[in-house]
Chains A and B, each alone.
Chain A
Amino acid sequence: QSVLTQPPSVSGAPGQRVTISCTGSSSNIGAGSHVHWYQQIPGTAPKLLIYDNINRPSGVPDRFSGSKSGTSASLAITGLQAEDEADYYCQSYDSSLSGVFGTGTKVTVL
């Protein structure tokens, strides 16, 4: 059972900016644990988008950005493109170093 809550869905027109929130607690994000973000296109393995709250792996477009504040984190996608339609998951750790994924958010490009 996930303890990181995300909105089930967000949508936007091509070129728009969308944000996905990831709400945790004082035992995970609020305790200083890093947040990572993954993109999963249906039928494929997830792909790391953002690590350690704000960093992009090589090859990830700078349209994707992450932030963290208090017990929450956010993923922003600017200049939304059709290829961004996918499921997005945040991930962090609790005080016992057990990992946890968020509930997942489906991004739809209108």
Chain B
Amino acid sequence: EVQLVQSGAEVKKPGESLKISCKGSGHRLTSYWIGWVRQMPGKGLEWMGIIFLGDSDTRYSPSFRGQVTISADKSISTAYLQWSSLKASDTAMYYCAAGLEFEFDYWGQGTLVTVSS
């Protein structure tokens, strides 16, 4: 069994940077892929990218490549999602999720990011 705990809600201004986290617990976590999923208010799920905790092999959706950075620290079983310059359109709920293949068996509770001047 894997548990994912995400960092808390954030309120930021346009142009600011942000890094949110997703800490996993459970056995064999270095064998898992951890992905990030965006859900804008009232909208559907969007696959952003995924990272293999064991060696940090990373894949991005073309829609998000260059817009965010996904990273991980396997020593503390934590994945990160980072923005260098936030926009109002980044306002959304962000979920991390984990799976042994490319399905998402386990989900975090979500981190709400609000970007507003």
Q: Which positions in A face B, CB cutoff 8 Å? A: 1-2, 34, 36, 38, 40, 45-48, 51-52, 57, 87, 89, 91, 93, 96-104
Which residues of A sit under 8 angstroms from B107, Cβ to Cβ?
45-47
Which residues of B sit under 8 angstroms from A45, Cβ to Cβ?
95, 107-110
Which residues of B sit under 8 angstroms from A51, Cβ to Cβ?
101, 103, 105
- Tell me which of B8-16, B24-32, B58-66, B76-84 binds A: B58-66
Q: How far is the CA of A34 from the CA of B100 in the complex (A)?
A: 14
A-B contact pairs, 26 of them (CB 8 A): A1-B63, A2-B44, A34-B101, A36-B103, A38-B45, A45-B95, A45-B107, A45-B110, A46-B45, A46-B95, A46-B104, A46-B107, A48-B99, A48-B103, A89-B44, A89-B45, A91-B47, A91-B104, A93-B102, A99-B50, A99-B61, A99-B102, A100-B61, A101-B37, A102-B44, A104-B45
Which residues of B sit under 8 angstroms from A99, Cβ to Cβ?
35, 47, 50, 59, 61, 102
B106–chain A nearest beta-carbon distance, Å = 8
Interface size in chain B (residues, C-beta < 8 A): 24
Determine if B46 is an interface residue (Cβ-Cβ < 8 Å): yes
Which residues of A sit under 8 angstroms from B108, Cβ to Cβ?
45
Which residues of A sit under 8 angstroms from B50, Cβ to Cβ?
99
Q: How far is the CA of A39 from the CA of B61 in the complex (A)?
A: 22
* Contacting residues of chain B (67-104) with chain A, CB-CB under 8 angstroms: 95, 97, 99, 101-104
Contact of B104 among A36, A93, A96, A104 (CB under 8 A): A36
Which residues of B sit under 8 angstroms from A36, Cβ to Cβ?
103-104
Report yes or no: B103 in contact with A100, Cβ–Cβ below 8 A.
Answer: no
Report yes or no: A38 in contact with B104, Cβ–Cβ below 8 A.
Answer: yes
A49–chain B nearest beta-carbon distance, Å = 10
Which residues of A sit under 8 angstroms from B104, Cβ to Cβ?
36, 38, 46, 48, 91
With CB as the reference atom, state the residue of chain B lying closest to A47: B107
Which residues of A sit under 8 angstroms from B97, Cβ to Cβ?
46
